[in-house]
Structures are given as structure tokens and as C-alpha cells.
Chain A
Amino acid sequence: MAPPFLEVTDLACRRGGRRVFDHLSFALDAGALLALTGRNGSGKTTLLRALALLVRPDAGTIRWRGADSRADPETWRGQLAWLGHLEGLKGDLSVRENLLVAERLRGAPAEDRLDAALAAFDLADLAVRPVRTLSTGQRRRVALARVVLTQAPLWLLDEPLNALDALAQAAFRQVLHNHLAAGGLAIAATHADLGLPAARVLELG
């Protein structure tokens, strides 16, 4: 039997001498969505950062298609799309420039895929506006469009619904649904209901 796409075994993390989580294990297959829930400070963001190897886990392994992520971190990072609580956008660049630069930083030109990603979050009219003139919710939509643009199989999302209005939330659900239907995986830390029935829930804390 083939190993699951993503297999996390016995993951443990400490920050400043305090245990954040330990003996955390789960496995996800193609098309799976995992919702991380728990109170503020229960370690949702830390878990996402540990999965992305931004925080060094104290114990445990993260395997992608059977291969240890820490043995080849660059390949592992290539599988990830990241949405943190900071958007990672440059205020002086336009929406379009931000998205194109983010994709080139991942090593892939994205001109031909850009319009679809902009359309998914109704950003076509804002494409030439500098990001510093956008509202919080609009910036969040740009950051989500960046996630879509990566075409990465695994999405790590920290509070993806934050600051989104009802229309944008619906757009996000549609995009996430398409991603999962195409065999993608997603792990999202969230307080709100993601609105997709297929979600598995992992409660931290």
C-alpha cells in the first residue's frame, strides 16, 4: 500500500521552555482537508510553522509521500503554499506585481495563470492598484490569490477567513473545494467554520 501523502508522527514543539504540543500524529491523503481548532495560544500557528519547517520541531517526523521532509527541505517547501497571519505583500507594488514577484520567488513564472487567480477572488479591477491603498479584507484576498497561484499540492493556511466578507468567504470555499477536488491537501487553522463538510478536525490545547 502506498504511504499517505502527508504523514506526521509524534511531532513535539516547545517554545521558550513551555510545551506547545507533543505526540501529535496524523496522516492526510489526496483531497483531504484538516481544520486545526483550539483556543487562542493553543499552538495552531506553531503547528503550521513547524509543518513548514519555519519552527524547528523538538521531536517527530513529517513525511511527504514517504520521504522525510527534513532530509530534503527544498523539495518539501516546493510542495507548500503558505498563508500566514501577515500577508507578505509589498505596499509599494501593485496587486499584479506582488503576485508575479511571489511566484518568481518560488521559481516559476506565472503570467499566464495570473488572470484566473485574480478572477477567483474578484481582484481584476484592483490589479494595478498599489497594495498599500487596499483594505485589510482586500489584502487578504490578494494573499489568497497568491496561494492559488502557487499550484502547490499542500496549502497551509492560518485563519484564511479573517477579514473576508461573505462574498469573499464564498469565493474562498469554492477555490478550496476545487483544490481538494483536484487532489490537493489543505491544513487550516481556524475559528470559523470552513464550510466544507469533508473537513477533519484536530483540536489543540
Chain B
Amino acid sequence: MTGFVALLARDLRLVWRRPGDVAVVLAFFVVATVLFPLGIGPESNLLARIAAGVLWCAALFASLLSLDRLFASDYEDGTLDLLLLAPWPLELAALAKCAAHWIVTGLPLAVLAPFLGIAFGLDQPGLLALAATLLVGTPTLSLIGGLAAALTLGARRSGALLALLALPLCVPTLIFGAGAIETMAMGKNFTTHLAILAALALVALATTPWAMAAALRQAGE
């Protein structure tokens, strides 16, 4: 556990030293979502209808944006060897890296999204649903993205390959995340959607660390 906390704290400290990396991700999220109301025009009914899908897609792209550096920087400076040689499970190390990624991208995205939802004319329950689904859904994106990052480590054009690998796997999360907000807009309860999102996150939590560790060991050879 000492190692897990140490790695998480180290990654957060590294982000703190270079806040620009996170700022770029959040700025991308804001710019990408704001383009839709500008492009479609002020038809509030239409905007409110597409809001859920647009915000969820933009959050997905934004969280992928910083993932290609997740393991690559450790791979390039030799720190990955130290993680591989640490006398505690590599699965926990992979999990710590994903947790750090979620704290600096998924969490701010979930906090930021309701403010952007206002620009789409979402009502208050809709904004609440948006924040809640992103909060529960983004850990899955960090975990699946982490797996794709580990698998593409050392490959050429790893950024594009990463997106191709991760995006299809994120489709269930996207469907239920956006679906929850539409359900809410129709005045129904969205707890079923939220429970499915949580289930997806738990499945990812229970499976991806092992796959990531295997991929990282392969990359270390």
C-alpha cells in the first residue's frame, strides 16, 4: 500500500509541477463543446436534446487526449523498470497511475461539465444527472484508456492506435452515460443507468489492472 500511495502522490506532484498538461485537456473539453451551440445556432430545444451526447463524447475525447503520456514518460526515462522491479504487485502500480489520471482529468471534467450544460439549456435535474454520470463513468474511461496506453507502449503512432483501441471499448459507458441524462429529461428516474455505469466501472476495475500489468511487462522486455 505504501507503494500505491507513493506512486499516486508522485504522479499528482508531477502534474502539479506542470499544470499546463491538465489545462490543455480542460480547455479542449470547453472549446469542443462550445463549438456545437455556435455551429447549430440558438435552437434551445435541439441543443438540450443533443447536450448529453455531445458533452459525453467531448469528455471521452478529452480524457483520451492525455492518456498517451500515461506510461510513455515512465517508459522513456527508465522509471518503468523501477516499477517492474518494485517488490509489490505491478497491477497496483497500474491502478495507481489510472487513479492519478482520473483525479486530474475525470474529476475536473465532471465538475466542469454542468457549467457547459447551461450553455445547452439543460435544466437543473439534467445538470445534476450530467455531473453524476460523469463522476461514475469517467473512472471506466481512465481504466480502459490506461489499458490501451499500456498495450500501445513503444509502438509507432501510439496516440492514434490508442484511440482506436480505447474508443470502441468505451461505447457502453457512453451509451449509458448519455442515456441517463435523456431519461432524466423525460422525467424518469436515472438510477438504473447510474447503477449500470457503476457496474461497468467495477468490471473495468476488476479486469484492466491485470491486463495492464501484463502489457507493461511485455513492454519492459
Contact of B82 among A88, A107, A108 (CB under 8 A): A88
Chain A min CB distance to B81 (Å)? 5
- Contact indicator per residue, chain B 12-33, by CB within 8 Å of chain A (1) or not (0): 0110011000000000000000
From A100, which residue of chain B is reached at the shortest CB distance?
Answer: B6
Chain B min CB distance to A70 (Å)? 13
How long is the Cα–Cα vector from A82 to B86 in the complex, in angstroms? 10
How long is the Cα–Cα vector from A90 to B10 in the complex, in angstroms? 10
**20 sample A-B contacts, Cβ–Cβ < 8 Å, listed by A number:** A55-B221, A56-B221, A74-B88, A74-B89, A78-B87, A82-B81, A82-B82, A84-B78, A86-B78, A86-B81, A88-B78, A89-B78, A92-B14, A92-B17, A93-B10, A93-B13, A93-B14, A102-B82, A105-B10, A107-B87
Chain B min CB distance to A166 (Å)? 25
Given A87-B78, A88-B78, A93-B14, 19 more A-B residue pairs with CB atoms under 8 Å apart are A52-B85, A54-B85, A80-B85, A85-B78, A86-B77, A86-B78, A89-B77, A90-B77, A92-B14, A93-B17, A101-B6, A105-B10, A105-B82, A105-B83, A106-B3, A106-B86, A106-B87, A108-B2, A109-B2
Residues of B within 8 A of A85 (CB): 78
Residues of A within 8 A of B86 (CB): 77, 105-107
How long is the Cα–Cα vector from A104 to B10 in the complex, in angstroms? 10
How many residues belonging to B are interface residues under a CB distance threshold of 8 Å? 25
Chain B min CB distance to A18 (Å)? 14
What's the dominant secondary structure at chain A's contact region?
loop
Q: Is the beta-carbon distance between B77 and A54 smaller than 8 angstroms? A: no
> Which A residues are within 8 Å of any B CB, using their own CB?
49, 52, 54-56, 74-75, 77-78, 80, 82, 84-93, 97, 101-102, 104-109
Chain B min CB distance to A113 (Å)? 16
Q: Is the beta-carbon distance between A74 and B221 smaller than 8 angstroms? A: no
Do A104 and B77 form a contact, CB below 8 Å, given A77-B85, A92-B18? Answer: no
How long is the Cα–Cα vector from A74 to B89 in the complex, in angstroms? 8
Chain A min CB distance to B190 (Å)? 41
Contact of B79 among A88, A106, A108 (CB under 8 A): A88
From A156, which residue of chain B is reached at the shortest CB distance?
Answer: B85
